[in-house]
Amino acid sequence: MSDDVLQTTPRAGESSAAGESSAAGESSAAGENPGAGEGSIAGEGPAISGTPSAGEKPALVFSGADKALIPGMLVCGFLFWEWIMSGAPALGVSLFTLSICGVTLPYFGKRGLRPRRESVALLAVLGLSCVQFAVFDTTIVQFFNLIFTALAYLYWISVSSGTRLTGGLSGYIAFDMAAQCFTVPFGNIDAIFIGVRRSLREMKRGRDIVAAALGLLVFLPLLAIVLSLLTEADDAFGALWNAILLRFRLSDFFAYAIEFVLGIPVAAYLYGAVFGNARRRRTDALNAASLSRGLARVRFVPNMAFCAPLAAFNACYALFFAALSNYLFSAFAGRLPEAVSYAEYARKGFFELCGVAAINLAVIACVHLLLRRGAEGARPRALRAMTGLLSAFTLLLIATAMSKMLLYISSYGLTRLRVYTSWFMLFLFLAFLLILLWHFRAFDLAKSLIVAFAVCFIALTWLNADGLIAKYNIGQYLSGKTDSLDVRMLGGLSDAAAPHLYAAWEKEKRALPEDAWAGELPEEYAAALRGVALGESDDPHIKETREFESILIRLRAAVEAEEDPRAKTALALGEELLSRSYPHQDRRFNEQNLQSRRAAALYDAVFRELSDAFAEER
């Protein structure tokens, strides 16, 4: 790979004098030094003017926009715990992301950081990743999407502020992300506290407000003890205090207070990231020139040290394909080798081929990073041919592995592991295809690989993998292409499987025996029913829960007594839908999304249907 993969374009605006400022500065209005203006060229200019002399600590100046950002970030810190950490990632993540972007965008506008085409495109990617939480309910993907959304937000701040190591997307993105995740936020972690202190100093009664808040915070535990003792001492006061708690929901107030306190470090981190990038404060710990010099020092391996092992790799792969061509490529024709089952053929060698592909990617990266370059940074033609041939062999290996996987899926259906493994192999195929094309025509390979990964990952998050698994497997079963349906595996999927489970339940209900929830029960089930019925309560939720449990018990008994496999499948589907019903009814709104709300309605419909039938028989 040529040096264009890791661009070394200096930061835009870094060549300007340190004292450069803009006429759009807010310093005069906020009572600051006149020289502390803001950059005028889309945020690329220095935000703090006036370079201090050697050894002098620069003064931290807060504009009106900097101070206005503080309460917004404190609210976002509270919402982080209320909407994200309080439950499963869902609608709360979407709302939080919209909130934090809604706070950041006006601040950038006041700082004179005008949006650029790349920052708008990245904001669109951020929107796609966060809206997914409000639509789908695939929990495994959402965990990684939560990380992707957080990183995309931090990188968007850097792009909007013009603080990346280079002028655009490049192979230095790993260093950019390290700076945005650690160096800038933690380097400016004190900024929000300094800003609050200075804002309070400017207020007429700022010191009194701080003293009162600290006094309440110190004596709050003691006040709680006093209230507890008073409620124990007098029943009338205890009843009054309980009424106050119920009326004003003070228990929620205490929970919110704890979330607000825990949100302060989060707010400090977020404020440090936004403020530090906008003001270019501690954003220059790394620079492209020093990294390029460091990279040049590690490029010491001569050409022949790589050519010999690459030739051995390619010879090995050529011999491998020549010796096993009939066995390996039979999956392309949709047929099996003799005396081999689908499972044995698909599994044998699949993960080994994936491992080989990953090793080849590491080898090509090692060649690029460590190879000694010529005067113009070009690589020898022989070595380019070797790595190009290695890429071609790897593409063939990936295609072979994918054909085996597709043959296995057509016979045994989809699972999460098969879906995610297939996605990873498709991305590897795209990556090696780009590498192979790069050998014939030079382009910015690092940028292309980053964009390809982002597109593939966004596609995965919007794939609705759990819904796809349920739809495919149930469709194969109902069409007669497979003899059985793994209801237990479907039960482990998220709410995305609910519509397809419900559709299968509607079609299979006719296979249910007439006494599916009627008739005499075995003694162990009757005992369980009596245990459910113990204790009377007028709470309708408790009554419905007992009824729900009794239906499950009768369905389990019918499953054990019935021999017809399709009836057993229908009963298993009904039991699975029932078992999902109540755990999904009490989810908080920020833990919900469109799929979970739709699933709850379907679960409730199945529960009501079986509840009515059970009531008639009883």
Question: Which range among 44-48, 219-223, 539-543, 576-580 shows the weakest confidence by mean pLDDT?
Answer: 44-48
Angular region, 268: left φ>0, alpha ψ -120 to 50, beta rest: alpha
C-alpha 121/C-alpha 117 separation (Å) is: 6
Domain count, the chain: 2
**pTM for the model:** 0.80
End-of-domain residue from the set 430, 463, 496: 463
Contact 35, 50 (CB under 8 A): yes
Within-domain flag for 575: yes
The pLDDT value recorded for residue 481 is 84
Same domain, 522 and 566: yes
Arithmetic mean of pLDDT, 253-265? 87
Residue pLDDT, tens place only, 312-358: 999 999 988 887 766 555 555 555 566 566 666 666 667 788 888 88
Same domain, 433 and 565: no
Within-domain flag for 153: no
C-alpha 188/C-alpha 210 separation (Å) is: 23
Domain range enclosing 349: 299-463
Same domain, 305 and 421: yes
Same domain, 573 and 611: yes
Contact 13, 41 (CB under 8 A): yes
Sequence-ordered list of residues with C-beta below 8 angstroms from that of 11, at least 6 positions apart, any chain: 44, 162, 163, 164, 165, 166, 167, 287, 288
Within-domain flag for 572: yes
φ/ψ of residue 80, rounded to 5: -60, -45
Sequence-ordered list of residues with C-beta below 8 angstroms from that of 125, at least 6 positions apart, any chain: 152, 454, 458
Which tokens hold the place of 204? 């007429």
Residues facing residue 301 across a β-bridge: 371
The pLDDT value recorded for residue 346 is 63
Within-domain flag for 140: no
C-alpha 551/C-alpha 538 separation (Å) is: 20
Confidence band (pLDDT; 50, 70, 90) for 235? confident
Residue pLDDT, tens place only, 148-170: 999 999 999 999 999 998 878 88
Residue 220 pLDDT exceeds 80: no
Same domain, 324 and 446: yes
The pLDDT value recorded for residue 368 is 84
Amino acid identity of residue 87, one-letter, is G
The pLDDT value recorded for residue 223 is 82
Residue pLDDT, tens place only, 434-472: 999 998 888 899 999 999 999 999 999 999 999 999 999
The pLDDT value recorded for residue 31 is 37
Same domain, 492 and 458: no
Within-domain flag for 412: yes
The pLDDT value recorded for residue 573 is 87
Residue pLDDT, tens place only, 1-35: 444 444 334 444 433 333 333 333 333 333 333 33
Residue 486 pLDDT exceeds 80: yes
Rg (CA), the chain: 32
The pLDDT value recorded for residue 55 is 43
CB atoms within 10 A of CB 153: 22
Within-domain flag for 403: yes
Residue pLDDT, tens place only, 163-201: 998 878 888 899 999 999 999 999 999 999 999 888 888
Within-domain flag for 372: yes
C-alpha 445/C-alpha 370 separation (Å) is: 17
Contact 280, 183 (CB under 8 A): no
Mean pLDDT of the chain: 79
CB atoms within 10 A of CB 578: 20
Alpha helices in 234-249 (DSSP H): 235-248
